[in-house]
Structure 1
Amino acid sequence: MSHGVRRTRTRWQEFRIVAVAFTLSAVGAVTAGVVVSSRNGRALAEAAPVSSFVPIEQVTPNVKAPPPRRSGSAGVFTVDCGTNENGKFSPDNPVAQPGVRNGAQHVHDFVGNLSITADSTDESLAASGTTCRNGDRSSYFWPVVRIDRQANRQTNPVGADADTLRAAGPGTVGCPTVRDKLPAVPARAADEVNRNLALLDRQMAEANRRLVTSRGEGGPNFVNNAILGPLRDKRIATLDRIAIAIGRQSARPTGLVSLADCEVSYDGAHAGHHGGAATGGAPSGNVVTPTVNCPTVRDKLRAVPARAADEVNRNLALLDRQIAEANQRLVTTQGEGGPNFVNNAILGPLRDKRIATLDRIAIAIGRQGARPTGLAALAWCSLNGAGSGPAPSASASAGGELPGVQGPNLEIAGNVGAILRPTRVQIEYRGNPTTKVVAMPRFLRALTGESKPTSRGPANARASWTCSGFTDRLTDRYPICPPGSQVMRVHDFPSCWDGENIDSANHRDHIRFPDAATGACPAGTVAVPQLRIGISYNIPLDVQRNGQYQLDSFPEENHNPASDHNDFINVNSTRQMAKIVNCVNAGRRCG
């Protein structure tokens, strides 16, 4: 069941105007949200202004649930996945930016799946452990909330002017890497696949040239409509040709469409941001969950004999699962052992497993052709994302990695202050007021909200903020709650599935929202259980009134509360999803 929200006014435009006292045209307008602060001598996104906070009592009730029909499904299935007690924090976004490490440029809370990273595969997700009590291996993740007691203390913060921002550059188009996501490429398909991989590189280079040469052109949506949109369409066609070429000789790869969408990152926002003392008060005590960094193997196998492809692919999938197991161990064993624990208990065994698996790959290929040499050198893995040390260079954004978190508060791209752990996370699968629901497909990707309403426009933004006791109203501003009430975020996900795809090029077209007034799904879609995630926080009242809590965001958003969003990958088993569907369709409350 979806919240129907009557928007009495939209605040994202006002937020942007208040946050930045100037505008730039076209691409410059996108970068205008990035303001350089002198605090601690680092380049930071400015805090959300006080005007983006509102007493919840001043928000008109606007949540109206569609009336249920007899044909509808009114049940609710609740899942308890905890409140991120394991401390699984990451700036990866495996739904919107698969394969791009640190791609979110802000930190997410993760609950559920323990091994998920930007590089996870469906097979590795299915083999993972979970924080969910019912065994649900799905991944649920959202931007963290921080307290920054330095925010809004200056009435006239030092900021950069438009010329300074222009000098920071037009941004860089970054796309998910493809070669290292492919299965074994049969020898007869290798030339065609390589031509299309080279074409993907040229398409991205052309888009980056357009960013530079078109500065000053068009309106606020110019980059999305004239550069990123056409690039996505070209990548869809090229990825399809790659899949067809491989499919002529062996099993056709699926899921490549997830790699079609690209982002513009503004790496100037990272300039000078290299950790150091926390700026938002006492360190939060959080430690970023490190992940295993292993040499890629798929892109080193350029032409595999067709008869060896199946066995090679089985072992490539095994390598993915081995990495996932190691990542899960890093989460579940935090604080255990001495200084050599990770090397002896995680990286050492992983290396031994990889040596054996890589040897089997070499043997399988060698039975049908020339045995590859040098694969053993790919067995050694290390850690990344430890929260200290030098960040990757800004140029890495074009190749699959952006700068990572720094310092004791896991700061990244202007997101500073102590991270708040939720006091409660309520995950619900709900029905549809007009019809019975069918099962979600396993590995369905879904997202709600818009992480970049300033640069992409607010069409997909959804009001999500409220206070406990006031859930009859949602706002796109930060709420100030009365004593005894907790700050809340309520995220309703789309629930009208196209009946075929688990993802789409823009990560939205395959699953859409029901009609806000009736709850009915659009023609050509079927209702699946609607995911609702409610997140509660205990934030001191003075922090709320002083405008000193804020959402992690992309740097150009300046902690815009309208940039709130949530992501989900369904890894429920077929049996578990059947339980959810039966509960919801029977009108029961289960969990």
Structure 2
Amino acid sequence: MRETLNRRFTRARGQELRVLGVVVVLAATAAVTAGVVTSSRDGQAFAEAAPLASFTPIERVAANVKAPPVRRGGSTGVVTVDCGTNGNRKFSPDNPVAQPGVRNGAQHVHDFVGNLSISADSTDESLAASDTTCRNGDRSSYFWPVVRIDRKANRQANPVGANADTLKAAGPGTVKCPTVRDKLPAVPAQAAAEVNRNLRLLDQQLAEANRRLVTSQGQGGPNFVDNAILGPLRDKRVATLDRIAIAIGRQGARPTGLVSLAECDLSYDGAHANHGGGSSTGGSAGNEVTPTVNCPSVRDKLPAVPARAASEVNQDLNLLDKQIAEANQRLVTSQGQGGPNFVDNAILGPLRDKRVATLDRIAIAIGRQGTRPTGLTELAPCTLTNADPNPEPSPSASTGGQLPGVQGPNLEIAGNLGTIVRPASVKIEYRGNPTSKVVAMPRFLRALTGESKPTSRGPANARASWTCGGFEDRLTDQYPICPAGSQVMRVHDFPSCWDGENIDSANHRTHIQFPDRTTGACPAGTVAVPQLRISISYNIPVQVQQRGQYQLDSFPEENHNPTSDHNDFLNVNSTRQTAKIVQCVNGGRRCR
């Protein structure tokens, strides 16, 4: 049971702070006091420092974390994986799980650990070929929104971050969907007409949703857009994507994973395209952005491919993806090397040469069975995204697929301002199930936890994740104020009840669900896989906490709502690694 209190932060006569923004309070944390803190601790008053109502001393949160009792046949082992704390500065506003193919789609910045090459455009094949920061060789990707400190923030005079009402007043926003044309394998000639009809239908569905967004302004409640526009659009896209897969499958191998492209989202990128970044604290050495490779797409530029050439063409298309992934990995591992032309000479130049050879092979393969395409080698040169630390602001492409990127040395984006705080520690654990043994999770499984948009989508998927070191028996959906010597923490438990078949679903949730909170049992029709838990700790000065000067990166309309905390995971563990995890967990051992 959840209680939603609508609050918004405004200033009255330059003196008073009135609370009116969105804060979602879970029943489990009902003991948390909502409102401005007015007491003192250790002789230090912090009422006048005006921490917002979204901050609370952790001592005021009642103990609410209770593990279900382990039953006979349950699994109690724990496997701990060390993937570091993002010391290589792999920051990105991509979300390859929830917004695949949409560059800068998160509209906030993530910390990434594990897989070194992952980006919005990654494929399963390119992820499997990547190196990793994990000491045991785990190539999985784990990523979460960064935490920032802005010491200049005066929350009474100027609340930190983008203002949701200002963004919404600028217009209804725009529905953005992952692109599909550039994600398809070679389309056999016999299927081309049917595939193209369905691709046009996807465009029509998106245009219709955007028209509905304009004409329905002011209708319904806070979840109207999600329920009346985005939900029906997702259902239509699922059906259309399935028809595309069937059409291609009749002539050859049926493509998998297209369901990942069904989910669309509401973006205010047009309103905040010129967000700028100069209002926060100065640049932070070591927080420079890691750029990613941006190459022209090839799949959507090919003609219909003769069926006899499809296999060879698909092999080379996968090779192009791996070449980009290798270049992205090289960008991470070679930071600080060479002179001003190092990236062009050592990464982009060799990548261009490899792409020329691969594109030529594609043209030859098609030409053996039909008319050889021309001009493919013009697609060989690549550039970098987020390469300029102070780029000129520019609006995003109207067709979708890319949103405004980060700006400035602090990687500020869409009202997410301040200096990024690097985690002091990150603990990644695979845990058991109290009622049953676990089975191996499938390779390339996608999973997420929490709700990045509790304001617009509602709080159903939100999960309390905040606590302090030494207080792990309690979790809150507010920013904690920790006693001296205690670290600010985020604890993210992932769903662990798999449907036994799918590695993803249209909403990225229904294929893997949470166990029952009380018993730990999985729902009927699902099986238990090792439950992933990620615990992130930060050294944040107590004064910063008391003044409300740290916050989570979020979608702009969330105004750094602590309830919008979330975490994403893409499993690239090898079959051998997965088997070892299962054996350890089911054996009740503790392993590394």
For normalisation by structure 1, the TM-score amounts to 0.91
Aligned length: 558
Check if 1:106 corresponds to 2:108.
yes
Structure 1 match to 2:447: 446
Q: Note the C-alpha offset of 1:538.
A: 0.2
Q: Structure 1 residues 339 and 544 mapped into 2: Cα distance closer, same or farther (>3 Å)? A: same
Amino acid at match of 1:505: A
Q: Give the counterpart letter for 2:295 in structure 1.
A: C
Superposition pairs of residues 210-221 of structure 1, within 5 angstroms: 210-221=212-223
Q: Which residue of 2 aligns with 1:363?
A: 364
| 2:548 is equivalent to residue 550 of structure 1 | no
Q: 1:119 to 1:162 in 2, by over 3 A?
A: closer
* Matches for 1:526-565 after TM superposition, within 5 Å: 526-565=527-566
Given candidates 243, 252, 256, the residue that maps to 2:258 is 256
Q: Where in structure 2 are there 5+ consecutive unaligned residues?
A: 11-16, 23-49
Q: Is the 8 A contact 1:284 1:418 kept in 2?
A: no
Identify if the C-alpha distance between structure 1 residues 159 and 183 changes in structure 2 by more than 3 Å, giving closer, same or farther.
closer
Cα deviation digits, residues 413-472 of structure 1 (max 9, x gap)? 000000000000000000000000000000000000000000100000000000000000
Give the distance between the partners of 2:158 and 2:394, measured in 1 at CA.
Answer: 33
Structure richer in helix, relative to its length? 1
Match of 1:172 in 2: 174
**Separation of aligned partners in 2, 1:553 and 1:67:** 35
Q: Distance in 2 between matches of 1:429 and 1:324?
A: 27
Q: Which amino acid aligns with 1:565?
A: H
C-alpha distance in 1 between matches for 2:533 and 2:510: 19
Does the 8 Å CA contact 1:193/1:245 hold for their aligned counterparts?
Answer: yes
How big is the shift at 1:389?
Answer: 1.5
Residue 223 of structure 1 corresponds to 225
| Deviation (angstroms), 1:167 | 4.1
Letter aligned with residue 213 of structure 1: T
Higher strand proportion: 2
- 1:204 Cα offset (Å): 0.3
Structure 2: distance between partners of 1:83 and 1:269:
33
1:283 is displaced (CA, Å) by: 3.0
Compared CA separation, residues 404 and 557, structure 1 to 2 (3 A): same
Give the unaligned 5+ runs of structure 1. 1-6, 24-47
Secondary structure in 1 matching 2:290: coil
Cα–Cα, structure 1 residues 16 and 95, in superposed 2: closer, same or farther, change >3 Å?
Answer: farther
1:13 positional shift: 3.8
> Per the alignment, in what secondary structure is the counterpart of residue 402 of structure 2?
coil
Between the aligned partners of 1:185 and 1:381, the Cα distance in structure 2 is 24
Distance 1:269-1:58 versus aligned 2 partners, 3 A rule: farther
- With over 3 angstroms needed to count, the CA separation of the structure-2 counterparts of 1:180 and 1:392, relative to structure 1, is farther
Equivalent position amino acid for 1:563 in 2: S
Counterpart amino acid of residue 83 in structure 2: C
CA contact (8 A) 2:167 2:272 kept: no
Distance 1:210 1:95 in 2: 27
- Check conservation: 1:78, 1:429, Cα contact below 8 A: yes
Q: Counterparts of 2:5 and 2:138 in 1: how far apart (Å)?
A: 36
Deviation at 1:216, TM superposition (A): 1.1
User: How far apart are residue 509 of structure 1 and its match?
Assistant: 0.3
CA contact (8 A) 1:323 1:350 kept: yes
**Aligned pair in 2 of structure 1 residues 315, 73: CA closer, same or farther (>3 Å)?**
same
Alignment RMSD, CA only? 2.0
- 2-side partners of 1:187 and 1:586: how far apart? 53
In 2: Cα distance, 1:269 partner to 1:262 partner: 18
* CA distance in 2: counterparts of 1:160 and 1:82, whole angstroms: 31
After superposition, the C-alpha distances for 1:59-109 in whole angstroms (9 at most, x for unaligned) are 000000000012100000000000000000000000000000000000000
User: What is the percentage of aligned positions where both structures have the same residue?
Assistant: 80
Tell me the equivalent position of 1:150. Answer: 152
Can you list the C-alpha shifts for 1:338-395, whole angstroms capped at 9, x where unaligned? 1111111111111111111011101100000000000110111111112431344234
**1:81-480 alignment runs, 5 A limit:** 81-155=83-157, 167-275=169-277, 277=278, 279-281=280-282, 283=284, 285-386=286-387, 387-396=389-398, 398-480=399-481
Task: Please give the alpha-carbon distance, in whole angstroms, between the structure 2 residues aligned to 1:170 and 1:573.
Answer: 44
Look up the SS of the partner of 1:550 in the other structure.
strand
TM (norm. structure 2) is 0.91
Instruction: Give the Cα separation in 1 of the matches to 2:489 and 2:354.
Output: 45
* Alignment match, 1:35: none
SS at match of 2:252: coil
Give the direction of change, closer, same or farther, for the CA distance of 1:262–1:499 in structure 2 (3 Å limit).
same
Match of 2:576 in 1: 575
Using the TM superposition, give the Cα deviation of residue 161 of structure 1 relative to its aligned residue in structure 2, in angstroms: 10
- Name the aligned partner's letter for residue 418 of structure 1: T
Aligned in 2, Cα 1:202/1:61: closer, same or farther, shift over 3 Å?
same
Aligned to 1:517: 518
SS in 2 for 1:331: helix
Q: Secondary structure of 2:358's partner?
A: helix
Q: Counterparts of 1:65 and 1:157 in 2: how far apart (Å)?
A: 38
Rounded Cα–Cα distance in structure 2 between residues aligned with 1:201 and 1:305:
26
Structure 1 distance, partners of 2:339, 2:78, is 45
Tell me the amino acid that sits aligned with residue 60 of structure 1. Answer: A
